[in-house]
Amino acid sequence: MGAVKGSSPKTSKGTLGKDQFGEYLKHILRLEHVSSPVSTSALSESMKVAPSTVTDMLKRLAGKKLINYVPYHGITLTPEGEKLAVKAIRRHRIVERFLTDMLGFEWHEAHEEALLFENDISDEVERRLYSALNRPKVCPHGYPIPTKVEDVLVEEVTLYSLEPGEQAEVMSVKDDDPEMLRFMASLGIKPGVKVKVEVKDPFKGPMQTMVGKQKRTVGWHLANAVFVKKLR
């Protein structure tokens, strides 16, 4: 019953597969933005897998020419790898947007729901999804939907960096903690909202702020998960 099964296509040239490659690439791209080359331990922590697992994966990624891997000296993305990473991030954000805009999910659910099937849709579905959504510029958490590396990066001015009296617009928020997102939503913090710092306690203490027209107290952790653009 031979048939057409045998050799699987897999992650062939410019395609995202069912594997974890996309996930790894996403993390590498983000980490590289912080410090390049990326260390095994950084990836291990970020991916929440053992260092030995990472080393394994690096060898496979290197085999596919997606990363430059110098044992003991960290890795960088190859142009190919970078392209795929951007593609994976783009897809994730489009799917998130689909989940919130077309299916009515809350933003704290979108991230994890997207992870479930984003790696299995075809490029064509992604394209059509994007069109059907009206070619949005950002994901529900305010991050850009990129076409190239430069688009991925975001101004990382945190709410916490503001001083009393300063005003700003929320641009994006950390998207990986559903509980925090839920809480942020309850405070009215989301992309597009205007904030103004009134009081800032020392020693990483909480801030008294205006979120829109509401008085809100915001702790250090949360204030560091909110990215803003200063106004005036």
Residue 128 binding: pick among DNA, a copy of itself, none (C-beta 5-8 Å cut-off by kind): a copy of itself
Q: Does the footprint of DNA cover residue 174 (CB under 7 A)?
A: no
Cβ atoms of residues 89 and 24 within 8 Å:
no
Q: Closest distance between a copy of itself and the C-beta of residue 231, in Å? A: 36
Residue 117 binding: pick among a copy of itself, DNA, none (C-beta 5-8 Å cut-off by kind): a copy of itself
Q: Does the footprint of DNA cover residue 231 (CB under 7 A)?
A: no
Sheet holding 207-211, edge to edge: 214-218, 207-211, 194-200, 167-173, 226-230
Q: Does the footprint of DNA cover residue 14 (CB under 7 A)?
A: no
From residue 20 to residue 59, the character string flagging contacts with DNA as x (rule: CB under 7 A) and all else as - is: xx-----------------xxxx-x--xxxxxxxxxxxxx
In terms of Cα–Cα distance, which of 93, 66, 80 is closest to 152? 93
Query: What are the residues binding a copy of itself (CB under 8 A)?
Result: 1, 3, 5, 44-45, 48-51, 99, 102-105, 113, 116-117, 119-122, 124-125, 128-129, 132
Q: Does the footprint of DNA cover residue 8 (CB under 7 A)?
A: yes
Range list of β-strands (E), 50-206? 67-69, 75-77, 167-173, 194-200
Residue 104 binding: pick among DNA, a copy of itself, none (C-beta 5-8 Å cut-off by kind): a copy of itself
- In whole angstroms, how far apart are CA 215 and each of 86, 196, 198? 38, 10, 9
In terms of Cα–Cα distance, which of 205, 176, 96 is closest to 140? 96
Give the CA diameter of the chain: 74
